[in-house]
Amino acid sequence: MATFAYGRVSTTEQSADNQRIEIQAAGHQVDFWFSDTISGKTSATQRPQFAALLGQIRNGETLVVAKLDRLGRDAQDVGATVKLLASRKIAVIVLQLGKLDLTSPAGKMMLTMLAAVAEMERDLLVERTQAGLARAKSEGKTLGRPAKTTAEQRVEIVAKYATGESVSALGRQFGISRASVLSVLQSA
């Protein structure tokens, strides 16, 4: 029987290689590796590589993940994913939990508690982020990406466009993309 492993990271700046190394260092001989670069807010079955894994893994095989949150976006999703895998007699190993059988009654209880705690932590992180953004905004700080053009350049772009200059030519002239030029023109 084969051993499958799955990793997930949220951004392209991150790599799932550390998760793979962690799984191998724990003594698991991985036959098939799948990883997604996708937000943790996406349910497990909506993740392309996880869905591919589910299509390839056979009943009775083993799935190894480094952390519980790789199996779903919240407690309900993790529970549904583990139920789906258990119905196919697929052993689920979560390194973070040690040698706990997630399909046993004790494992199900522990899984539910840990998934709920993970969901609460994620909710608290969102809350803190929103509070920080609100505070920064109330202090008058400008949020978001800095403008690529100055106010004077934006006035100049609008004026030159009005005289017949093309969007592409304006983009080259000011060193910005066509989309940036169009954004300046739309906000004018």
Domain containing residue 25: CATH number: 3.40.50.1390
Domain assignment present for residue 136? The answer is no
Provide the total of helices (H) and of strands (E) in the chain, helices listed first. 7, 4
Question: What's the rounded Cα separation, in Å, for the pair 127 and 69?
Answer: 19
Same domain (yes/no): 155, 116: no
C-alpha span between 69 and 73 (Å, rounded)? 7
* pLDDT tens, residue by residue, 77-96: 888 898 899 899 998 889 98
Q: Which helix (H) or strand (E) holds 127?
A: helix 105-138
Residue 59 lies in a domain: yes
Residue 28 confidence (pLDDT)? 93
Residues 30 and 88 in one domain: yes
> What percentage of the chain carries pLDDT values higher than 90?
61
Q: Quick one: 8 and 71 in the same domain?
A: yes
Q: Are 81 and 45 in contact (CB under 8 A)?
A: yes
The Cα 124–Cα 158 span in angstroms is 44
* Whole-number Cα distances in Å, 138 to 17, 75, 133, 135: 40, 34, 9, 5
Claim to verify: residue 116 and residue 155 sit in the same structural domain: no
* Pair 13, 95 in one domain: yes
Does the pLDDT at position 59 exceed 80? yes
Catalytically annotated residues: 10
- Does the predicted TM-score (pTM) go above 0.85? no
More confident call, 182 vs 110: 182
160 and 116 assigned to the same domain: no
Phi, psi for 94 (deg, rounded to 5): -115, 110
Per-residue confidence (pLDDT) for residue 186, from 0 to 100: 93
Q: Which domain holds residue 181?
A: 151-187
pLDDT mean over 67-85: 86
Q: In this structure, are 75 and 158 located in the same domain?
A: no
Q: Round the average pLDDT of the chain to a whole number and report it.
A: 90
Specify if 127 maps to a domain: no
How far apart, in whole angstroms, are the C-alpha atoms of residue 111 and residue 102? Answer: 7
Residue type, 111: L
Crossing angle of helices 105-138 and 75-87, in 10° steps, is 150
115 and 157 co-located in one domain: no
Q: CA 129, CA 165: separation in Å to the nearest integer?
A: 43
* Three-state DSSP state, 48: helix
Count up the domains in the chain and report the number. Answer: 2
Final residue of a domain: which of 79, 103, 120?
Answer: 120
Helix (H), strand (E) at residue 113? helix 105-138
Residue 24 is assigned to a structural domain of this protein: yes
